[in-house]
Amino acid sequence: MKIFTPCIIRETASGLNRVPIEDELMRSREIFLTGEVDAESMGSLLKQLMFLNHESPDEEITLYINSPGGEVDSGFAVYDYIKVMPAPLRTVCVGLAASMGAILFLAAQKREMFPHSKIMIHDPAPGGGSLAGMKPAQLEDYLSSLKKVQKVLGDTIASATGQTRKWVLTKTKKDTYFDADEALKYGLATKIITEKEPIR
């Protein structure tokens, strides 16, 4: 199935050229995470953030997120870079920011949502592969590693929201969804974008 890439027409010295909309938006320092968090998507996002940061380290970057989540390690590779880059970041939840998508949403100081968007947080789940055939010692090591990830995720959410780690753990033991009003109430979001307000 061929994926349609929306373009606009720009007049240049060489004539009329088709320019992908994403390229045009990037010139306005607006970038996107749409889809799963994995090595490929995070590699692309990291390159965009690095480019915009090096180009203008004092200008705000806006990251729009609509993601079901994905790989913890890949997501934290971008999260860690966001935390050390000089350029300020604004995240906007469009649709759903779930799991690792929610963690990336929380990486910014300015975290905005559209009225019908949602945030979902939960504990880490076993990744690819099967636990079948593992010996007791291997299972203990695996569960110990999973608990360490659980602590890191919990501490990250608590730090961003101002909630206690105990509160976070009660919410992440299952898939917990927050609508825009709830996300604002509990510190996940800092603002709801209304239809009467300009996005930028």
Q: What is the pLDDT along the chain (200 residues), one digit of tens a residue?
A: 445 566 666 666 676 677 677 778 888 999 999 999 999 999 999 999 999 999 999 999 999 999 999 999 999 999 999 999 999 999 999 999 999 999 999 999 999 999 999 999 999 987 655 666 778 888 888 889 889 999 999 999 999 999 999 999 999 999 999 999 999 999 999 999 997 765 55
Q: What domains sit in the chain, N to C, each tagged with a CATH number? A: 32-192 (3.90.226.10)
Residue 122 annotated in active site? yes
Handedness of CA 160, 114, 125, 122 (dihedral sign): positive
Residue 99 annotated in active site? yes
Task: Report in angstroms the alpha-carbon separations of 151 from 11, 15, 93, 111, 148.
Answer: 53, 56, 24, 23, 5
Determine the Cα–Cα distance for residues 4 and 41; give it in Å rounded to an integer. 18
- Identified catalytic residue from 41, 67, 74, 99: 99
- Identified catalytic residue from 67, 122, 130, 159: 122
Angle at alpha carbon of residue 80, lines to 88 and 60, rounded to 5°: 10
